[in-house]
Amino acid sequence: MAPSELKKSKSRSSSNGLAATLPQGVAMAHRLHLAVLKAVHRHKVNGNSVAVWRNGEVVLVSPENIQVSPRSFDPVGV
């Protein structure tokens, strides 16, 4: 990208402002959070362990120790 194009690109994005970007970011984070919850729930239901990062190392959590409650999927509770 040429420097002049880069300058135009920056000025357009700054004119939209953070207010336009923030709600989209929050919505994406929420969807990502729900996707992870659903994946963890599927692992539990199918009897598969889940790898998590705990105290600087990878730990496998057995299906019986995975804790995902129905309230976790409630958008208000997230």
Which tokens go with 43?
């692992």
pLDDT tens track of the chain, all 78 residues? 555 555 554 544 455 566 667 788 888 888 898 899 999 999 999 999 999 999 999 999 999 999 987 666 655 443
Each domain of the chain, given as residue ranges in start order, spans 3-73
CB atoms within 10 A of CB 44: 19
Q: What angle do CA 54, 30, 23 make, to 5 degrees?
A: 130
Give the pLDDT of residue 11: 46
Going through 7-66 in order, the beta strands assigned E by DSSP cover 50-54, 57-61
State the distance between the two ends of the chain, measured CA to CA, in whole angstroms: 40
Closest CA to 41 of 12, 9, 78, 71: 71
